[in-house]
């Protein structure tokens, strides 16, 4: 970040090379947002290692606010600087303005078109970004959650999988890795939404799983037939290392098998895996244009909660 000065009210922390700085970021972040899953230093450093773009971690001098800037751009020049803010309510000025100034500078320097900030519901910093800093309403991602202990029968995979299909994980069937990656990649390319889709290979995908403290090969679930044709892939990811709460990081159905109820089976497979792992809940974000997946969540007994709102400002 040599071409952008850090605003006076903020400090950039090297969370990878400086363990004290990493501990400070984690402490401020967890204290500022106790409503979120508590993160560990391993979670933070792993996020940096797996991030597809530039990552900057910051705190204010009083240790009342933590923030992260992630700037990503894909081969199609779709990209954004994503601003994550961890604070209680509206952080006020000039602190919020300093964050916006830095985010806008990084977006311009790395030639992405906008800055985005997302959170669940209507936290103070999102409202302040709109009222004082020219951010506009963006996508309202629909958010669904499954209470695993109270999961109805329709949320879990039946004992005999319909259609003669089988279920495995990448841990038990590493030979299905390349076919699973192709299906996952198709799902990413076809998913609605104007978000970047960085290039990935089977090797980088598998390497990221090996390095992750929140997901591994045993959390990548595969629906396939007796000829090992992959129909669908699901990946669960813990909200933090050691957590009993997870999110649905990926659900993809192979293009040639869509419209045949595979998404519902994949959703049920995720619920069953969560139950077997002893998880308490699983959450999922769905783009509002993906009406079929929203309907599948509801029919599988997932409950809809407050949306994840995004606000956007062009990096002019």
User: Could you report the per-residue pLDDT of 33-48, keeping only the tens digit for each?
Assistant: 999 999 999 999 999 9
Q: What CA–CA distance (Å, rounded) separates 221 from 161?
A: 14
In a domain, 212, yes or no: yes
Q: How high does pLDDT run on average in the chain? A: 94
Q: What is the rounded average pLDDT of the residues 182-210?
A: 91
Pull the structure tokens for residue 217.
């090969």
Q: What single DSSP character describes residue 9?
A: T
Q: What is the rounded average pLDDT of the residues 164-176?
A: 96
**Cβ contacts of 173 within 8 Å, gap of 6 or more:** 222
**Cβ contacts of 26 within 8 Å, gap of 6 or more:** 39, 40, 41, 43, 44
Between the two ends of the chain, the Cα-to-Cα distance in Å is 19
Q: What CA–CA distance (Å, rounded) separates 99 from 167?
A: 46
Q: Are residues 209 and 296 in the same domain?
A: yes
SS3 113: coil
In a domain, 1, yes or no: no
| pLDDT band for position 266 (cuts 50, 70, 90) | very high
Q: What CA–CA distance (Å, rounded) separates 311 from 118?
A: 6
How many CA atoms lie within 13 Å of 41's alpha carbon, on the beta-carbon side?
12
Last residue of a domain, one of 134, 156, 176: 134
Q: Are residues 235 and 296 in the same domain?
A: yes
| pLDDT band for position 4 (cuts 50, 70, 90) | low
At 197 the pLDDT is 86
Last residue of a domain, one of 111, 134, 157: 134
Q: How many CB atoms lie within 10 A of CB 43?
A: 20
Of 116, 128, 56, 121, the residue nearest 91 (C-alpha): 128
Of 115, 111, 80, the residue nearest 97 (C-alpha): 115
Q: What CA–CA distance (Å, rounded) separates 39 from 27?
A: 9
Q: What CA–CA distance (Å, rounded) separates 254 from 188?
A: 11
Q: Are residues 54 and 188 in the same domain?
A: no
- What is the extent of the structural domain holding 203? 144-307
Across-strand partners of 56? 69
| pLDDT band for position 160 (cuts 50, 70, 90) | confident
Pull the structure tokens for residue 181.
């990656």
- pLDDT of 56 above 60: yes
In a domain, 120, yes or no: yes
CB 147, CB 281: distance < 8 Å: yes
In a domain, 28, yes or no: yes
Q: What CA–CA distance (Å, rounded) separates 284 from 13?
A: 31
Last residue of a domain, one of 87, 112, 134: 134
Of 254, 230, 246, 240, the residue nearest 285 (C-alpha): 246
Q: Are residues 181 and 214 in the same domain?
A: yes
In a domain, 265, yes or no: yes
Q: Are residues 175 and 199 in the same domain?
A: yes
Q: Are residues 210 and 169 in the same domain?
A: yes
CB 213, CB 42: distance < 8 Å: yes
The domain that contains 118 carries what CATH number? 3.40.630.30
In a domain, 314, yes or no: no
CB 80, CB 193: distance < 8 Å: no
Of 110, 89, 104, 96, the residue nearest 312 (C-alpha): 104
- pLDDT of 3 above 70: no
Q: What CA–CA distance (Å, rounded) separates 130 from 62?
A: 25
Q: Are residues 121 and 168 in the same domain?
A: no
Q: Are residues 117 and 169 in the same domain?
A: no
Handedness of CA 52, 58, 211, 279 (dihedral sign): negative
Question: How many domains does one find in the chain?
Answer: 2
In a domain, 4, yes or no: no
In a domain, 139, yes or no: no
pTM of the model: 0.92
């Amino acid at each position: 970040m040599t071409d952008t000065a850090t605003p006076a009210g903020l400090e950039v922390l090297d969370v990878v090379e400086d363990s004290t700085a990493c501990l400070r970021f984690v402490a401020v972040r967890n204290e500022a947002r106790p409503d979120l899953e508590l993160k560990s230093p391993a979670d933070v450093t792993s996020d940096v290692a797996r991030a597809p773009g530039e990552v900057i971690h910051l705190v204010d001098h009083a240790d009342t606010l933590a923030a992260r800037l992630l700037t990503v751009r894909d081969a199609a020049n779709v990209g954004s600087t994503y601003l994550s803010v961890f604070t209680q309510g509206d952080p006020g000025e000039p602190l919020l303005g300093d964050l916006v100034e830095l985010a806008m500078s990084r977006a311009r320097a790395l030639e992405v078109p906008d800055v985005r900030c997302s959170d669940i519901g209507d936290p103070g910093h999102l409202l302040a970004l709109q009222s004082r800093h020219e951010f506009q309403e963006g996508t309202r991602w629909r958010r669904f959650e499954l209470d695993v202990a109270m999961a109805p029968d329709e949320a879990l995979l039946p004992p005999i999988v319909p259609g003669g299909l089988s279920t495995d994980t990448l841990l038990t069937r590493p030979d299905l890795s390349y076919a699973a990656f192709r299906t996952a990649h198709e799902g990413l390319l076809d998913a609605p939404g104007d978000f970047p889709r960085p290039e990935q290979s089977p090797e980088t995908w598998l390497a990221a799983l090996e390095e992750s403290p929140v997901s591994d090969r045993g959390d990548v679930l595969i629906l396939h037939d007796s000829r090992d044709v992959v129909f669908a892939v699901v990946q669960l990811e813990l909200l933090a290392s050691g957590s009993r709460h997870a999110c649905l990081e990926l659900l993809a159905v192979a293009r040639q098998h869509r419209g045949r109820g595979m998404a519902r089976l994949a959703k049920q497979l995720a619920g069953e895996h969560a139950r077997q792992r002893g998880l308490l809940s699983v959450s999922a974000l769905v783009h509002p244009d993906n009406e079929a997946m929203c309907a599948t969540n509801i029919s599988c007994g997932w409950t809809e909660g407050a949306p994840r709102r995004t606000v956007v400002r062009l990096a002019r």
